[in-house]
Every structure is written in structure tokens, then in C-alpha cells.
Amino acid sequence: MTTAPIKVLVAKPGLDGHDRGAKVVAAALRDAGMEVVYGGLHQTPEAVVEMALQEDVDVVGLSILSGAHMTLFLEVRRLLDGAGLASVLLTGGGIIPAADAEQLGGSGVGKLFGPGTTLGELAAYIEAEVGRRRAAGERT
Amino acid sequence: MSLAERSDPRFAEAHRELAPRLGVARRIGVTGPPGAGKSSLVEELLLRWRAAGKRLGVVAVDPSSPFSGGALLADRVRMSRLALDSGVFIRSMATRGMFGGLARATDDLADVLDAYGCDLVLLETVGVGQSEIDVARSTDLTVVVLHPGGGDTLQAMKAGLMEAADLYLVNKADLPGAERVAAELADMLDMRAEGATRPPVLLASATRGDGLDQAVATLDRLLAESEASGRLLARRSANAERRVRRLVDAHLTREAWGTAAGLDDALKRSLASDPAISPHALAEQLVRLYGAGRKESS
């Protein structure tokens, strides 16, 4: 029996069509040894959660540049919890004001990353968070 | 599924409960070179089978990096029209060190989808070259997807992948050259078949939607014929035999190289003390050592 690689779903919910950031992040997490499911553009929160369920991912990472982050992150979190995926880390990035990120953090959303984040920081955060959840037996 | 992917021993136990429900789903392999349009074609096929009321499962495999161990699994992004269809379950997996086009646990994941009640389970391989034909040994029927620009007739005459198909789909039929690829392939197959039936060659375009109704009808027909003629059962029993052999191989390999057997130690010691030792002689010694250890412990 082996420790499974960390599995991450990277997707872009909502209407903005700028997927370069999501692709750069997906490639960086792959290079950090993770298995990254690329979910693509224009996903609804329902579709994101259905993918997370079918793929049994440890992490859902959303890229949101449209300004709709408050609605989308909370909706995905609510649907994840409703689907029995409360142990899945929800994180992401985009143009998200610090006050908004803090408020989301209080509602079960993980750390959110803005411009200037290094790819190493992102991978290290995910490894630490998933490692903690696995050690606590929340995830296997 | 996740237990199977991790080689968790609990999966073998759970599999015993699945066993009585297995064998109902027909398993179709979809393989071909990278960028041929396998995932896009799979989506089109799924949409048609869904319209016919079938329950569907997909296991889509993409390669793991031999350097980082990571993987980018990007097949389901082409299947987004099915994302919210409760009659379709799509699971992506990485090859994790396997080189035959599938992953170690692909058969197990297909079993779960079969037991879950899928009528059809599609196994989509990584983009393959010439010799990765594991998929033919995990399925009832294999589709090889080709595209214009993949080489001339000589490429098609080579051994391996080009012998593994039950149906050839030449995708991107909207691009120039597709008809020539299909015609040359058909010629080559006629030459080899010498009058016997040979796998059909169809043109399709996933982007335009051409040729896909015919592809679905042909696949349904091939499956029905294979079942009626007894070929389906024969293929399943050959596949089952290979699968058990693979599991035994994996078990023996794990056991032989585990610390208890001492082979790993002996190998390193022998090479350190005599770097010029014949690899064949040393291998024989190690096998004898393993045999002696087995006798002692029994």
C-alpha cells in the first residue's frame, strides 16, 4: 500500500475566459508531484462539485478573475459540504481583496492567492493542508 | 475506486462483494496517438448512447510524469457537456509508472463502474505510440482513433497498435487527407484479411458531428456479433487469465524485493564486492536465494 499523490481539481467557474493562470497553476502542481484534473472554463458550481465527487480529489482550486468570488466560493463550499465533501480543501486565486479573502476564510474557504504569489508557496500550502487532513484521519 | 488506486488491501476484500455483479457492462477501449481526438470522440459517442438510454462509465487515463510523479489529467475537459448528467460517471487516472497505455488499477475501476450498473464502460488510454496495447486486454472491443497526418501506409503496416483494433475511426474527417488515410488503411487490412472479415474503417469528425451515428451503430453491431459468436466470452476468459497472471507477478515481485527476502541486500552486496559479475549469474544466484528462503519459511 502506497501513499496516494495529492489529487487536485483546477477549474474556472463563472464567465471570465482568462484561463492562463489556471493552466500555469495546473502545470506547477503537476511539477510538484500532484495529480491535477483540469476541469476547464465556464463551469457552474454544480459541475465543479460533481467533478470533485467523481474524481475523489483532495483539493478544489478555483481561478476567479470576474469579481464574483464571494458568491462562487461560498456556493462551491456549500455544495461540497452537502455532497459529503467537507474534508476537501477549497482554495484558489484571482483578484480578491484581502477583506473578502478574510471573510471567505471564516466560511470554510482556504487561503486565496493573488498576483505575486510564487508557485512554490501554493504547492507548499496545499501539501501542508492535505498532509494535516490526512494525519488527522479526515482524508486518506 | 480510490482504494483500488492506492492498492489498499481493503479493495481486494470489497472486490469480493462486487464479483457477483460483474460482467454485465460491455467494455470498450478507445486508443490512438496523442491529439487524435479520443476524448472529443468519446464525448460524442457518450451523448448518443445517453440518448438511447444507456448508463455509462468512463475511465480516462493520462500519463504520470516520470520526473515529478505528477500528472495533468485533461480528458474530462473535452466531456463537459456530460458534467451534470447523472447517467454518466467519468473518472480520470494517471498511469503511475505503467507504460502500456493504462494504469495498474484501470481494470479495478472498470469493475466498480460495471457493478454500479453501467451498461457500457469506456476505457480511454493515454496518447499511445505503436506498442501500447494493454487496452485490448482489458476490454471486449477496441477502437483505434487515427487522424490525417499520422504517417503513410508503412506506418499502418507495422506491428502492435495497428493489429489491436476491432474498429478504426479516422477522426478529423473535415481536414484534408482523412479520406486517403482511411482508404490506405482499408487496402492494407484487405490485403491481410485475404477474404476473411476485417475490422471496419470509418471516417468521423467530432467537431462537425459527422460519421458518429454510424460509429455508434457499428460498435453496437460489433458487440452483438461478438457476443453471438462466442468471441466475447473467449476474449473475456483470455483477459481474465492475463489479469490474474499480472496480479501474481506483482505479488511475487513485491515479496521477492521486500526486506524479508533479503534479495535487495544480496544484490547490492554482490555488486559492491564484484562490479564485473555477470548479470545473468547474479540473477540466478538471487533466484536460488529466494527459493531457499521460501523453503525455510514453509
> Which pLDDT tens digit goes with each residue over B15-25?
999 999 999 99
Mean pLDDT, residues A115-121 taken together: 93
Q: What confidence category does residue A1 fall into, taking pLDDT thresholds of 50, 70 and 90?
A: very low
**How far is residue B224 from each of residues B115, B229, B248, measured CA to CA in Å?**
21, 9, 33
Of B6, B84, B89, the CB nearest to A47: B84
Of B6, B68, B89, the CB nearest to A1: B6
Whether A2 has a pLDDT exceeding 60, the answer reads: no
Burial status of residue A7 (CB atoms within 10 A of its CB: 0-12, 13-18, 19 or more): buried
ipTM: 0.91
A122 at interface of B, judged by CB pairs closer than 8 A: no
Tell which of A6, A30, A48 to mutate to test the B interface (max B CBs under 10 Å): A30
Q: Which fold has domain A7-135?
A: Rossmann fold (3.40.50)
Give the SS3 label for residue A97. coil
Is B65 close to A30, i.e. CB distance below 8 A?
Answer: yes
Q: Nearest CA of chain B to the CA of A20: how many Å? A: 15
> What's the predicted TM-score (pTM) here?
0.91
In A, minimum Cα distance to B251 occurs at: A1
Give chain A positions within 8 Å (CB) of B83: 43, 47, 50-51
User: pLDDT digits over B37-60, tens only?
Assistant: 999 999 999 999 999 999 999 999
Whether B298 has a pLDDT exceeding 70, the answer reads: no
Please tell me chain A's helix, strand, coil percentages from 3-state DSSP, rounded to the nearest 5: 45, 20, 35
Which amino acid is it at B67? F
What pLDDT is stored for residue B195 in this prediction?
66
Average pLDDT, chain A: 94
Nearest residue to B199 via CA among B129, B274, B145, B265: B145
User: pLDDT digits over B78-102, tens only?
Assistant: 998 998 999 999 999 999 988 889 9
In A, minimum Cα distance to B58 occurs at: A54
Q: Nearest CA of chain A to the CA of B227: how many Å? A: 31
Q: What confidence category does residue B163 fall into, taking pLDDT thresholds of 50, 70 and 90?
A: confident
What pLDDT is stored for residue B159 in this prediction?
63
CA pair distance A122, A125, nearest whole angstrom:
5
Burial status of residue B97 (CB atoms within 10 A of its CB: 0-12, 13-18, 19 or more): exposed
Is A32 close to B91, i.e. CB distance below 8 A?
Answer: no
CA pair distance A85, B154, nearest whole angstrom:
52
What pLDDT is stored for residue B212 in this prediction?
97
A27 at interface of B, judged by CB pairs closer than 8 A: yes
Q: Nearest CA of chain A to the CA of B43: how many Å? A: 15
What pLDDT is stored for residue A32 in this prediction?
96
**Percent of residues, chain B, with pLDDT higher than 90:** 73
CA pair distance B178, B171, nearest whole angstrom:
8
Is A56 close to B1, i.e. CB distance below 8 A?
Answer: yes
What pLDDT is stored for residue B161 in this prediction?
78
Instruction: Look up residue B13 and give its three cell numbers.
Output: 476484500
In A, minimum Cα distance to B5 occurs at: A4
What pLDDT is stored for residue A139 in this prediction?
87
Tell which of B11, B65, B76 to mutate to test the A interface (max A CBs under 10 Å): B76
What pLDDT is stored for residue B22 in this prediction?
96
Mean pLDDT, residues A60-85 taken together: 95
Tell which of B62, B64, B77 to mutate to test the A interface (max A CBs under 10 Å): B77
Q: What confidence category does residue A16 fall into, taking pLDDT thresholds of 50, 70 and 90?
A: confident
What number of helices (H) and strands (E) belong to chain B? 10, 8
Mean pLDDT, residues B224-233 taken together: 96
A120 at interface of B, judged by CB pairs closer than 8 A: no
Which residues of B fall below an 8 Å CB-CB distance to A? Answer: 1-2, 5-9, 64-65, 68-74, 76-77, 80, 83-84, 89-92, 94, 96
Mean pLDDT, residues B138-148 taken together: 94
Q: Nearest CA of chain A to the CA of B74: how many Å? A: 5
